[in-house]
């Protein structure tokens, strides 16, 4: 008696639309977060390095920055370092994305019968959810240094939300750069750019302390409005305008680099199939 076997065909697979985009995004984000939690590099870049940087900035430069008249330096430094954690956290996760591409993991997951847009959406969601707890830990480290939530619980939640929004915007160009042919080199170049952003913003020193020709660059780079929004939500000051500019920066980065990130992700997934 012969036993016949049937080979699955595309028509026998579950339809991609049978799994909702929201569900796929949540599942993919959850899987990424579990993977990242076991990666020492991501933990160090997202949590340990920012906490150390905050302590260094505050203990070495805190009094000097406060004396410049921009308010208590701990608020600016806390906002600055929260964003630095988001920046360099995306670089660490970009390295894992490159590894997934090179090992063929992206290619295998790309064949699953789920909405492929969920892979990008899930990764962005995971970046935001990684940044949230990292920001909370950083703020807890800042409290013994004088950091306080002066405007209540809702404002505190808003201050945590700002780096999460910032992380989503930054993650899109990082994904785009990580999925091109020379992904590792591109990520290294982004690291150099992020170092420049680190030293030229309103958290490191008041904008008025920079040379006149440099002040417009410092004032309008993406970290400055986010730092100002965090300071306003914690210490006090303007919130609506810097928060709106932060959201516009995130939306602008998504619009500008989103198509490139989608094409790069698809190419990275399909090139090893």
Residues 96-143 have pLDDT tens digits of 888 888 888 888 888 888 888 888 899 999 999 999 999 999 999 999
- Name which of 93, 101, 3 is nearest 45 in CA terms: 93
The neighbour count for residue 13, using CB atoms within 10 Å, is: 12
SS3 content of the chain, % helix, strand, coil (to 5): 80, 0, 20
Tokens of 174: 């990082």
Distance CA 161, CA 136 (A): 10
Distance CA 179, CA 249 (A): 22
Reduced to 3 states (helix: H, G, I; strand: E, B; else coil), residue 148 is coil
pLDDT band at 224 (very low <50, low <70, confident <90, very high): very high
Contact yes or no for 42/95 (Cβ under 8 A): no
- Highest average pLDDT, of 37-46, 144-153, 181-190, comes from 144-153
18 burial via Cβ count (<10 Å: 0-12, 13-18, 19+): exposed
154 burial via Cβ count (<10 Å: 0-12, 13-18, 19+): exposed
The neighbour count for residue 90, using CB atoms within 10 Å, is: 29
The neighbour count for residue 89, using CB atoms within 10 Å, is: 28
Contact yes or no for 86/189 (Cβ under 8 A): no
Question: What percent of the chain stands above pLDDT 70?
Answer: 88
Q: What is the DSSP string of 182-213?
A: THHHHHHHHHHHHHHHHHSSTTTS-GGGS-TT
Mean pLDDT of the chain: 84
Tokens of 28: 């993919």
Condensed to tens digits (0 to 9), the pLDDT of residues 72-102 reads 788 888 999 999 889 888 888 888 888 888 8
Interval 249-262 mean pLDDT: 93
Reduced to 3 states (helix: H, G, I; strand: E, B; else coil), residue 270 is helix
Task: State whether the Cα torsion 16-18-24-27 is positive or negative.
Answer: negative
Q: How many CA atoms lie within 13 A of 163 on its CB side?
A: 33
The alpha carbon of residue 117 and the mean position of all alpha carbons in its chain are separated, in whole angstroms, by 19
Distance CA 271, CA 273 (A): 6
Contact yes or no for 187/171 (Cβ under 8 A): no
pLDDT band at 10 (very low <50, low <70, confident <90, very high): very low
Condensed to tens digits (0 to 9), the pLDDT of residues 137-176 reads 999 999 998 898 988 899 999 999 999 999 999 999 998 8
pLDDT above 80 for 61: no
pLDDT above 50 for 8: no
CB-based contacts of 200, cutoff 8 Å, min separation 6 = 210, 214, 217, 218, 221
């Amino acid at each position: 008696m012969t036993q016949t076997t049937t080979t699955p065909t595309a028509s026998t697979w579950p339809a991609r639309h049978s799994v909702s985009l929201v569900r796929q995004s949540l599942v993919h984000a959850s899987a990424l977060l579990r993977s990242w939690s076991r990666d020492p590099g991501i933990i160090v870049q997202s949590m340990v390095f920012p906490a150390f940087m905050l302590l260094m900035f505050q203990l070495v430069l805190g009094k000097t920055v406060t004396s410049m008249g921009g308010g208590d330096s701990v608020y600016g430094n806390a906002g600055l370092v929260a964003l630095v954690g988001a920046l360099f956290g995306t670089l660490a996760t970009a390295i894992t994305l490159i590894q997934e591409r090179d090992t063929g993991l992206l290619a295998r997951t790309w064949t699953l019968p789920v909405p492929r847009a969920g892979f990008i959406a899930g990764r962005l969601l995971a970046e935001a959810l990684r940044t949230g707890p990292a920001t909370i830990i950083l703020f807890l480290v800042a409290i013994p240094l004088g950091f306080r939530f002066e405007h209540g619980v809702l404002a505190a939640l808003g201050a945590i939300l700002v780096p999460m929004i910032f992380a989503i915007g930054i993650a899109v160009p990082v994904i785009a750069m990580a999925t091109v042919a020379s992904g590792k080199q591109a990520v290294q170049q982004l690291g150099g750019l992020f170092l420049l952003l680190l030293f030229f913003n309103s958290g490191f020193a008041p904008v008025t302390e920079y040379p006149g020709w440099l002040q417009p660059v410092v004032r309008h780079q993406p970290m400055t409005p986010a730092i100002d929004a965090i300071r306003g939500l914690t210490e006090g000051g303007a919130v609506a305008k810097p928060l709106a500019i932060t959201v516009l920066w995130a939306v602008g980065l998504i619009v500008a680099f989103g198509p490139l990130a989608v094409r790069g992700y698809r190419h990275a997934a399909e090139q090893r199939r």
